[in-house]
Structure 1
């Protein structure tokens, strides 16, 4: 049980039915296609749907009470004693409920945002804090104005720390999430080009990411990328910790070794090993260490947390490919910054000699889309054997790569199936393939063509 129905009367005083009964609520239901015994039904109203119409199905699936938008008629099929709490807006009520529940449970709240790396950093943070605290984290991509409240309301009452990923498409959205969560500490992983179509400039993206401080506790800390000039103006603020590789970092990382599966580095005169490769992942780890140190964790507890990491799907996900090849599915999402970082990782891999890139379109780049796609080719060098692009805008990557390396095998495809059929015969036991594109491209659909 996360709370009982009677407790809702303090938040939502206008109700009908058995609202004052101590009926246990174990979860929140927004999707009536799934069984959810002892749940509170929250009917969300979207642009093209209204979940109020599924109230009967919600009760069949286990709802024991519901929030109800006051301008919506109440169906006759709802039993007279069924607790209904009237609200002006069910989405806003869901957010208010999440804020109230955070106060009730009172965990340490960590907010994580950034153009790239926020999911990886969220997973790292939860793993490390889990070495000392009972920790809950955002699942999947539940990082928006509906997903974040649902994440909060999914945590158990004994939760001691909650790690909340905060995503955005436009200015103002992270501010809303920060006010819902009121984080004790916050991390901004980096400032990239994602959503530049909506925000116009990287400066505007930086301002939008800094909205995470809008609800930040007065004595909380903000952990940032010290190597990012667009965040220089906040480095001198009280409670700001800079992490990175440059001399201005409060926590300066130095990579000592890197293999296909691990990165060793020094930070604040302590040695760590991360079970992931890539310079960008070492920087993400430095954010997590800075936070963990602030919360009193030892080096041993932090290292234990790194060893127990469970990463979200499609983040450097390795598959056994055709004829013993290695397929790296990093196709959850992409921006120019993250795509270049992953190409750098593949270039550095030593276990496979032949290196192949499958790159798809990156969305929400606006007027700079062609320029930013072409710029990805700057990360390609002689260590890459072939570049295959799929979609529309990604053809600019192929064109730029061909221009830089005329002898490299480069080919553009309109469709994923065409690409898969072309690439499969090229795979050998000495081949590694990287798949990377924006979420809408669904490059993972190619896996059946590439794996055994």
Structure 2
């Protein structure tokens, strides 16, 4: 990215130092430890820190200007020539600057939200659209009120399509992000149970996700999971594209075949696609990128080329060769009951394995009904699953529920530590074993997965 420093005058007319019209800003950063060239440092005030305390460190790291809260004194010894743009609120200024830069570059903007699958859909969209357009997408978890503006401000000047992930914990957050991004296309991947503790119910989650339309441009389009009744119950006067397995959708998934290497399927019994990813849920995730590709004029052949080259962010149904010839599926990035059940169903559908082993752990932010939500996972744990290993206090609730109704002679064991799980797995996996590892991010179950890799 780059813009002339005088663009900052659109944020505030109150400044000091030399605002040279020829000076270019080539990076925007909030962490003074990040090394940049010709950077604009924006100090953010957090609960335990104040970025204004680190201006000299930012200058050493490459800052050539700063936005500055007008109520904060400048540090002694700051050169008089150093450009300082005074604002009332640096976070609000960051957000406004990102809106200005977005308007300057003027790409097509795609906003993505949902309880599960946001990052997978983001990766699929990039894979499909980069065949034809210069694209830019959210990196990592930069999907909140700070991360989204920084993602926009990292966008190259020649970007044609910006793919922006939008996360949330509370009502109002996605509305803010949507109004910053002003998307042309918005996608709601699904409604699960994530953040039900803060939002009260799945209906509350649906309402919060629907905030993504608040900034949608006139004549924009909403693409969403047409199989989800909570999304279909929101009657909005918009251009809509519904995707899913039900025959009421605009894009209907048919003729699905799954193997350990991916999926083959058709849309509307007309267009055939191959997806090198595991799971029925990822087939649905791919239909959102196909719908966007078609909407933006791509052919089915071009879309397939993109799907062929999709590289997912790690720890999302990531399949690797394990010890003793086993197959390990590392889906340990995060979890909710909905996504855990979907991952289990995937393992049940795959290939010829004598041992189908589940390693499941705690799921967080499920509210007062968390015990029942954990126990509900056992509805999917049926033959041909052969082993259930759980870890953690909440994960144990899954084991308890399955013990009460284990009619398939599944081996059930509950462990207190990841080390115990790993020791037992190493003793049983072989070349006819597939192992799924899944829990919420805080459990860090990927340490089990990486210890089992070849």
If the TM-score is normalised by the length of the shorter chain, which range does it land in?
over 0.9
Query: Which string of whole-angstrom CA distances, capped at 9 and with x for unpartnered residues, describes residues 91-131 of structure 1?
Result: 11111111111100000000000011111111111111111
Where do residues 290-301 of structure 1 align in structure 2 (5 Å cutoff)? 290-301=291-302
Partner residue, 2:199: 199
Q: CA RMSD in A?
A: 1.4
Q: Does 1:434 pair with 2:440?
A: no
Where do residues 359-398 of structure 1 align in structure 2 (5 Å cutoff)? 359-398=360-399
Change (3 A) 1:313 1:146: same
Structure 2 Cα separation of the partners of residues 307 and 18 of structure 1:
51
Partner residue, 2:74: 74
Higher alpha-carbon deviation: 287-296 or 199-208: 287-296
Q: What is the DSSP-based 3-state SS (H/G/I as helix, E as strand, rest coil) of the residue aligned with 2:187?
A: strand
Off by >6 Å, runs of 4+ in structure 1: none
Report how far residue 449 of structure 1 moved.
3.4
Structure 2 Cα separation of the partners of residues 448 and 194 of structure 1:
26
Q: Does 1:123 pair with 2:123?
A: yes
CA contact (8 A) 1:175 1:212 kept: yes
Partner residue, 1:419: 421
CA contact (8 A) 1:117 1:189 kept: yes
Q: What is the DSSP-based 3-state SS (H/G/I as helix, E as strand, rest coil) of the residue aligned with 2:48?
A: coil
Partner residue, 1:265: 265
5+ residue gaps in structure 1? none
Query: Which string of whole-angstrom CA distances, capped at 9 and with x for unpartnered residues, describes residues 337-381 of structure 1?
Result: 000000111111215331111111110001110000000111111
5+ residue gaps in structure 2? none
Query: Which string of whole-angstrom CA distances, capped at 9 and with x for unpartnered residues, describes residues 422-451 of structure 1?
Result: 222222122111111111111112235323
Partner residue, 1:29: 29
Structure 1 Cα separation of the partners of residues 118 and 279 of structure 2:
15
CA contact (8 A) 1:402 1:408 kept: no
CA contact (8 A) 1:56 1:77 kept: no
Partner residue, 1:139: 139
CA contact (8 A) 2:278 2:317 kept: no
Change (3 A) 1:329 1:256: closer
- Give the TM-score, by structure 1 length: 0.97
Structure 1 Cα separation of the partners of residues 383 and 94 of structure 2:
52
Where do residues 134-213 of structure 1 align in structure 2 (5 Å cutoff)? 134-213=134-213
Structure 2 Cα separation of the partners of residues 45 and 236 of structure 1:
38
Structure 2 Cα separation of the partners of residues 419 and 283 of structure 1:
32
Structure 1 Cα separation of the partners of residues 50 and 390 of structure 2:
39
Q: What is the DSSP-based 3-state SS (H/G/I as helix, E as strand, rest coil) of the residue aligned with 1:81?
A: coil
Structure 2 Cα separation of the partners of residues 329 and 192 of structure 1:
20
Q: What is the DSSP-based 3-state SS (H/G/I as helix, E as strand, rest coil) of the residue aligned with 1:393?
A: helix
Partner residue, 1:331: 332
Q: What is the DSSP-based 3-state SS (H/G/I as helix, E as strand, rest coil) of the residue aligned with 1:394?
A: helix
Partner residue, 1:353: 354
Structure 2 Cα separation of the partners of residues 235 and 296 of structure 1:
27
Report how far residue 265 of structure 1 moved.
1.1
Change (3 A) 1:208 1:421: same
Where do residues 237-276 of structure 1 align in structure 2 (5 Å cutoff)? 237-268=237-268, 269-276=270-277
Report how far residue 30 of structure 1 moved.
1.4
Higher alpha-carbon deviation: 163-172 or 386-395: 386-395
Q: Does 1:451 pair with 2:418?
A: no
Report how far residue 176 of structure 1 moved.
0.6
Structure 1 Cα separation of the partners of residues 380 and 187 of structure 2:
27
For this pair of structures, how many residues does the alignment match?
Answer: 452
Change (3 A) 1:77 1:440: farther
Query: Which string of whole-angstrom CA distances, capped at 9 and with x for unpartnered residues, describes residues 238-263 of structure 1?
Result: 30111111121011111332211221
CA contact (8 A) 1:424 1:449 kept: no
Report how far residue 166 of structure 1 moved.
0.5
Structure 2 Cα separation of the partners of residues 310 and 77 of structure 1:
48
Structure 1 Cα separation of the partners of residues 136 and 242 of structure 2:
25
Structure 1 Cα separation of the partners of residues 71 and 30 of structure 2:
19
Higher alpha-carbon deviation: 229-238 or 114-123: 229-238
Q: Does 1:14 pair with 2:14?
A: yes
CA contact (8 A) 2:437 2:449 kept: no
